[in-house]
Structure 1
Amino acid sequence: MMRAVMYLMAALSVMGLAFWAYQENYATQQAIKDVRRLHAQIGDAHERLGMLRAEWAYLNRPDRLIDLAEINFDRLGLLPLGPEAFGNIESIVYPLPDILPITDPIDIRSVTPGGGEDPL
């Protein structure tokens, strides 16, 4: 009787583990499919990014921008940059550093010029 219960428990354990392994197998296969789909999406995004970078470089060609500035001069009033458009470094006003509070003052009235203490 005890042996039959043990065989039954072992058989149920094996079936439970088989069911668990079956579920894990399908979950793993689904995760692999998701990873492949994400890799494909990442590849598509890199492809689109490369295309957008090429388009940005094409649209920002200096000769094209010069032509656009000349065409829209009346509306925009853009002028070409020259050395006179930049300022001098001397004209920049830098902020002064903050003055820190005195936290440990030294009394110099009691110190003599020779380095010793005042005898008085």
Structure 2
Amino acid sequence: MRTLLYTLAIGSVVGLAYWAYQENFETQQALKRLSAVQAQIGDTREALAVQRAEWAYLNRPDRLADLVKLNFEDLELLPLTPGHFGLVEQVAYPRPPSLEGALIDTIEVSEQNVGRRP
């Protein structure tokens, strides 16, 4: 009986050791994948920052004004000036809907009934 108990105990220790080894291996693999994904995120953010800088460089107002002048014959674009913008007071806002006709059932109140309790 002791031999069976020792055998089961040793078997369970070996089984748990194998399970712990597998979990440790899977954890190490997950950490490696996480590190790779974080590096990829960093690279993507860096590339995005470079693209934003390039976009800002290409959209400089003086560069765009020069392109408008160079391609005026083909595109007939005019440079944007402050005179192209209007004032807020010049904006025609829609009128709010009127309340006329919105009240369908009205109640007449006379002075006779005011202040009297039924």
TM-score, length basis structure 2? 0.77
Q: What stretches of structure 1 of length at least 5 have no aligned partner?
A: none
Cα distance in 2, alignment partners of residues 76 and 27 from structure 1:
61
Cα distance in 1, alignment partners of residues 44 and 71 from structure 2:
35
User: What is aligned with 2:46?
Assistant: 47
| Deviation at residue 87 of structure 1 after TM alignment | 3.0
Provide closer, same or farther for how the CA distance between residues 99 and 20 of structure 1 changes in structure 2, counting only shifts above 3 A.
Answer: farther
Q: What stretches of structure 2 of length at least 5 have no aligned partner?
A: none
User: What is aligned with 1:107?
Assistant: 107
2:61 equivalent to 1:62: yes
Which letter does structure 2 place at the counterpart of 1:8? T
User: What is aligned with 1:24?
Assistant: 23
| Deviation at residue 42 of structure 1 after TM alignment | 1.5
2:88 equivalent to 1:89: yes
| Deviation at residue 29 of structure 1 after TM alignment | 0.9
| RMSD over aligned Cα atoms | 2.7
| Deviation at residue 102 of structure 1 after TM alignment | 4.6
User: What is aligned with 1:36?
Assistant: 35
How many pairs align? 114
| Deviation at residue 35 of structure 1 after TM alignment | 1.3
User: What is aligned with 1:7?
Assistant: 6
Identity %: 51
State which drifts further: 14-23 or 86-95.
86-95
